[in-house]
Structure 1
Amino acid sequence: MRCCGTGSAPPGCCSTNVGPRSAQRGSAVPPRERPAATRARRRFASETLAAIRNGKILRIRAGTGAHRFIGIWAVVVDRRVFVRSWSVKAGGWYRTFLQEPRGAIQVAGREIPVRAVVTRGVRLKGAVDRAYLEKYQTPGSIKYARDLGRAKSRATTTELMPR
């Protein structure tokens, strides 16, 4: 229920929105629209997350144009899917997502529409660093997993969300 905004709210109006901050000011705070970052996020199904977590290559297509799917490395952290660009090419998937954040992934024979969201949190990027090192440990892949933790690639940390 929205607050009437008159300062003398009817019983039940705003009563659930009184918290420490509003108590300090001495008034109830009318409910607001939640910022985009705190809205309920769509999540991948558990089976999809398991396939991404257990697979070595994720097939991805950035943008909505008629482009082929390419294989990249992906990790799952806290039931969220993250990818990084190793080469950061001008015409590559990362730069395409910066221009147009919609795309698709192929998992277990299914094409799933996704939205790419650039990740900024330092702690989250650290967790993604560790996830890459844990997942890609073979002698042939460890060098690239380490490179994905360097500043250039770290800056490309992108969360893929179903849309």
Structure 2
Amino acid sequence: MNNEIALKYIESNNHIGIKAGTERDTFLEIWMVIVEDRIFARSWGFAERSWYNTFVKNPVGEIQCGDEIFKIKAEIPADENGLMEKINDAYLSKYTSTEHNKKYAVRIIEEAHIEKTMEFILL
């Protein structure tokens, strides 16, 4: 049931709160997509202190879906059965409805960002 709440929220909202690791006090809002009932995000920036790099070092964290907070485990997904292409399609489908978002959605499916794809598993 909780998984359904999170998946529906992520599917219908553009910005989802995330805390990577255990040291962050506040949620950072990022783009997330759902593919095959799995949650994915890509890092936009490449800073050493990014949420992505924090998860690489410590895979525990939380996502915030409205008033609900879910504990997660982060993993770098394998590109099984064209998964990255499906994630690309999900980003383009979800984030191209406005001109402002469209320019970022087109860039987040470029190789440098694809390499920074993370899956979030609800615990």
Shorter-chain TM-score above 0.5: yes
Q: Which runs of 5+ in 1 are unaligned?
A: 1-42
Residue number in structure 2 paired with 1:139: 99
1:144-159 aligned at under 5 Å gives the runs: 144-159=104-119
The residue that corresponds to 1:14 in the other structure is none
Q: As a proportion of its length, which structure holds more strand? A: 2
Aligned length: 121
Counterpart AA for 2:20: A
Question: Which fold has the larger relative contact order, with Cα–Cα distance below 8 Å and residues 6 or more apart in sequence?
Answer: 2
The aligned counterpart of 1:109 is 67
Match of residue 73, structure 1, among 21, 31, 43: 31
TM-score normalised over the length of structure 1: 0.71
* Cα distance change of structure 1 residues 44 and 151 upon mapping to structure 2, 3 Å threshold: farther
How far 1:44 moved relative to its partner?
A: 5.7
Unaligned runs of 5+ in 2: none
Q: Which is further off, 127-136 or 143-152?
A: 143-152
Q: Point out the structure with the larger helix share.
A: 2
Distance in 1 between the 2:39 and 2:99 partners? 24
1:49 and 2:49 are equivalent in the alignment: no
User: 1:67 deviation in Å?
Assistant: 2.8
Mapping 1:1-163, distance limit 5 Å: 45-121=3-79, 123-137=82-96, 138-163=98-123
Structure 1 stretches of 4+ with a deviation exceeding 4 A read none
Percent identity over the alignment? 31
Contact 2:3 2:122 in 1 (8 A): no
Q: 1:95 to 1:60 in 2, by over 3 A?
A: same
TM-score normalised per structure 2 = 0.93
Would you say the 8 A contact 1:57–1:73 is kept in 2? Answer: yes
